[in-house]
Amino acid sequence: MIIPRTQGDEDGLCGLYSILNAMRYLYPRMSEDTEAAIFKASALALKRWPKILWDGTTTADMLRMLKSVYLGIPVHVGLRIAVREPFRRRKPSAGAFYDRLFGLVEPENQVAIIGLEKPYEHWTVAREVRSQAILLQDSAKLHEIWRHEIGLPGSKAKWQIDPRCTFLITRTT
């Protein structure tokens, strides 16, 4: 049997989907029209179109898309978010990153979009951080990342995360 291709097999849209999935998690009653508006606003914010389809989204692309969502979408549909980059200026150890993320992510109120570098480049949503695992809301159907498998880029860890590629999304309404 030939396995069918799915979103993400050949395209680099995980960044766009991570934003949509973060918003859907924070606002579970969001209408399909609002979801479509978020998707469209995010896509229109990209300057590297269509190259992004095969190259994927950079941190700068993510910032542009997030800005378009938190400045444009809330005005029309009553959704308000705040976006922060808690590790933008510093690169903590893997343990310090995990401990800080544990204190930042609050189910239903605050999620983190994190950038994975290994085993493959991918943007995903940390919806809950427990003592031993990060639970995900993910377009590639990943469910969790175990704490003992996390490391910084260049380590031998299964999941390599650059803390500077982390965006904290907070529901403010």
133-137 and 144-146 strand pairing: antiparallel
Tens of pLDDT, residues 124-147 = 999 999 999 999 999 988 999 999
CB 134 within 8 A of CB 101: yes
Closest CA to 69 of 26, 133, 118, 129: 26
pLDDT on residue 75: 58
Distance CA 76, CA 96 (A): 38
Which residue's structure tokens are 């994975």? 116
Distance CA 143, CA 60 (A): 26
pLDDT on residue 8: 75
Tens of pLDDT, residues 5-20 = 777 778 889 999 999 9
Each residue's pLDDT, cut to its tens digit, for the chain (173 residues) gives 887 777 777 888 999 999 999 999 999 998 999 999 999 999 999 988 888 888 899 999 999 999 998 887 765 577 889 999 999 988 899 999 999 999 999 988 999 999 999 999 999 999 999 999 999 999 988 999 999 999 999 999 999 999 999 999 999 87
Distance CA 49, CA 116 (A): 22
Q: Which domains does the chain have, with CATH numbers?
A: 14-171 (3.90.70.10)
pLDDT on residue 173: 79
Query: What is this structure's pTM?
Result: 0.93
